[in-house]
């Protein structure tokens, strides 16, 4: 150790390998890892060491990805700097120029934009299909079709299709199946157990659960995740250690949050269904969710106003439920798909999907159900 003031300032307190048994995982807030010597570097490249550089891997990223992989009953996982980063890694781990994707027409607007606007530039083709109005994928399969993409509970109309049978058919056609399980979470259903090859999360939502992180996780087989990890590293979309730590911290309460939020949502849906100001409530039925591992229908409720012209008044009248174009925090919030998440849709697509001006997307939180219903009621009455 150098004896001079300047050297001691930099080095003396630094004892990263001192053995301590922290009860919670420390944040490995480091961009790079130190090596004892060149032999250790060689060992890393021979696959024996774990960490080199945080863009390539970091213990906080590993904790998050491994936990989600375990909860989703998948072999391996990788985290990314956002849900979109994880979706891109998943798509590019399978697709190349000339390949064709079949995707449900009810997917998150950002996923649609990624496929339609960005990946199309690399010669990846997309067909959007309405799974509610068809019985087979066969008519849309091309020799180049590689991947089938769907969401467990769709955003924002909360449709739940018969995933087990669609996945089974896609596998018969030799397709890789990728499921966005953001709205359901592994608490409700684990698509890997139904045959999905890749399962992706915007961990920004229920996995994190507190509206304070932007993160994504992708899980699947060792082979696919190995390739996806390379894509995360090469495209530079890895998750920062702090965000990974915060997401893992939020994840610990996923089960209790989901239980409460789903129960609250079920009561909100019943309340809205009876209200005269409501035209339609979008909330998954118990029949549609029969394949879920738990008898719950998610914590999101969408609804359309009977009088679409009152939509501005409705949002203005909310006193404590915040308008926020995201979802899944412990606090109840509302969003407006047409002006936020589904901006990328054309008017034609909006009419075709039912994502219209009068549609409200409600993310139900953990508050007292009486207060949530009371707040909605006063805004609808106004």
Ligand X SMILES: Cc1ncc(COP(=O)(O)O)c(C=O)c1O
Q: Residue numbers of the site for ligand X (CB under 6 A)?
A: 82-84, 108, 110-111, 151, 155, 180, 182-183, 202, 204, 214, 216, 341
Looking at beta carbons only, is 156 or 379 nearer to ligand X?
Answer: 156
The rounded distance, in Å, linking the Cα atoms of 209 and 57 is: 24
> Least distance (Å) from ligand X to the CB of residue 4?
47
From the candidates 28, 108, 187, 282, which is the catalytic residue?
A: 108
Q: Quick check: 40 and 49 in contact, CB under 8 A?
A: yes
Cα distances from 198 to residues 112, 168, 179, in angstroms, run 17, 14, 6
From the candidates 51, 53, 55, 350, which is the catalytic residue?
A: 55
> Least distance (Å) from ligand X to the CB of residue 337?
10
Token digits of residue 147: 């991947």
Residue closest to ligand X when measured from CB atoms = 83
Q: Quick check: 214 and 81 in contact, CB under 8 A?
A: yes
> Least distance (Å) from ligand X to the CB of residue 151?
6
Looking at beta carbons only, is 159 or 204 nearer to ligand X?
Answer: 204
> Least distance (Å) from ligand X to the CB of residue 173?
24
Looking at beta carbons only, is 271 or 341 nearer to ligand X?
Answer: 341
> Least distance (Å) from ligand X to the CB of residue 46?
35
DSSP E strand stretches across the chain: 76-80, 100-104, 125-129, 145-151, 176-180, 198-202, 216-220, 278-282, 300-305, 322-323, 333-335, 359-363
* Known active-site residue 53: no
Residue 209 zone, left/alpha/beta (φ > 0; ψ -120 to 50; rest): left
The rounded distance, in Å, linking the Cα atoms of 348 and 361 is: 20
Looking at beta carbons only, is 141 or 151 nearer to ligand X?
Answer: 151
* Known active-site residue 315: no
Which residue reads 């409700």 in tokens?
A: 188
Q: Quick check: 214 and 79 in contact, CB under 8 A?
A: no
From the candidates 28, 99, 112, 205, which is the catalytic residue?
A: 205
* Known active-site residue 371: no
Looking at beta carbons only, is 216 or 220 nearer to ligand X?
Answer: 216
The rounded distance, in Å, linking the Cα atoms of 209 and 329 is: 5
* Known active-site residue 108: yes
From 339, 341, 334, 301, select the one nearest 318 (Cα to Cα): 334
> Least distance (Å) from ligand X to the CB of residue 209?
13
For residue 156, cis peptide bond before it (omega within 30 degrees of 0)? yes
Looking at beta carbons only, is 83 or 358 nearer to ligand X?
Answer: 83
Residues labelled as active-site residues = 55, 108, 180, 205
């Amino acid at each position: 150790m150098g004896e001079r003031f300047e050297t001691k300032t930099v080095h003396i307190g630094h004892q990263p390998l001192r053995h301590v048994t922290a009860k919670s995982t420390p944040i490995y807030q480091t961009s790079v890892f130190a090596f004892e010597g060149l032999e250790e570097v060689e060992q890393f490249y021979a696959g024996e060491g774990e960490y080199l550089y945080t863009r390539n891997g970091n213990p906080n990223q590993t904790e998050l990805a491994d936990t989600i992989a375990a909860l989703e009953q998948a072999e391996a996982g990788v985290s990314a700097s956002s849900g979109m980063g994880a979706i891109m890694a998943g798509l590019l781990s399978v697709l190349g120029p000339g390949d064709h994707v079949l995707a449900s027409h009810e997917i998150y607007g950002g996923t649609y934009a990624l496929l339609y606007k960005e990946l199309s530039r690399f010669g990846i083709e997309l067909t959007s299909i309405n799974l509610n109005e068809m019985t087979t994928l066969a008519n849309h399969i091309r020799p180049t079709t590689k991947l089938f993409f769907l969401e467990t509970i769709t955003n924002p109309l909360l449709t739940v299709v018969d995933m087990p049978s669609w996945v089974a058919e896609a596998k018969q056609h030799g397709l890789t199946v990728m499921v966005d399980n953001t709205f359901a979470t592994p608490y409700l259903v684990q698509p890997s157990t139904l045959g999905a090859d890749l399962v992706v999360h915007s961990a920004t939502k229920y996995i994190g659960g507190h509206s304070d992180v932007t993160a994504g996780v992708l899980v699947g087989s060792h082979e696919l995740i190995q390739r996806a990890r390379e894509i995360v590293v090469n495209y530079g979309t890895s998750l920062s250690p702090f965000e990974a730590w915060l997401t893992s911290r939020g994840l610990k309460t996923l089960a209790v949050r989901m239980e409460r939020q789903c129960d609250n949502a079920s009561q909100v849906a019943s309340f809205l269904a009876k209200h005269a100001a409501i035209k339609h409530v979008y909330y998954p039925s118990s029949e549609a969710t029969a394949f879920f591992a738990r008898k719950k229908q998610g914590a999101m409720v969408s609804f359309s106003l009977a009088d679409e012209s009152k939509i501005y008044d409705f949002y203005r009248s909310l006193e404590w439920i915040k308008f926020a174009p995201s979802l899944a925090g412990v606090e109840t919030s509302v969003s407006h798909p047409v002006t936020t998440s589904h901006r990328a849709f054309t008017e034609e697509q909006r009419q075709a999907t039912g994502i219209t001006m009068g549609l409200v997307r409600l993310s139900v939180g953990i508050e007292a159900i009486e207060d949530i219903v009371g707040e909605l009621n006063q805004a609808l009455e106004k």
